[in-house]
Amino acid sequence: MMRQYYVYIMTNKTKSVLYIGITSNLEGRVWQHKTKFNLSFTQRYNVNRLVYYEVHDNPYSAIMREKQIKRWRREKKEWLIRTMNPNWQDLSEEWY
């Protein structure tokens, strides 16, 4: 079985902060954000809503994609979120 890697975007209640990350365990990583487990930036800004993610088959492509998205202006990041999640719902709200 091949491992999958995820590039994801999380935000806070007011959508004022966008956090872009990479993980091989999306469910576990989102849980860390939601419970504020040892994540100082996301604790400070209460980043706890998963609004976008994409799947990659290898870590290199996921890392390159994460870096690409981080370089984008906010407007383009918002466009990307809306392509998957037009209402900015928390995609993980039923996971736990």
Domains of the chain: 5-84 (3.40.1440.10)
HSE-CB of 56 using CA atoms within 13 angstroms: 17
Determine the Cα–Cα distance for residues 14 and 60; give it in Å rounded to an integer.
32
pLDDT, position 40: 81
Determine the Cα–Cα distance for residues 20 and 10; give it in Å rounded to an integer.
7
Secondary structure of residue 71 in the 3-state scheme:
helix
Q: How far apart are the first and last CA of the chain?
A: 25
Tens-digit pLDDT profile for residues 50-81: 999 999 999 999 999 999 999 999 999 999 99
pLDDT, position 54: 98
Which has more pLDDT, 2 or 56? 56
Determine the Cα–Cα distance for residues 31 and 6; give it in Å rounded to an integer.
14
HSE-CB of 28 using CA atoms within 13 angstroms: 5
pLDDT, position 51: 98
pTM for the predicted model, two decimal places: 0.93
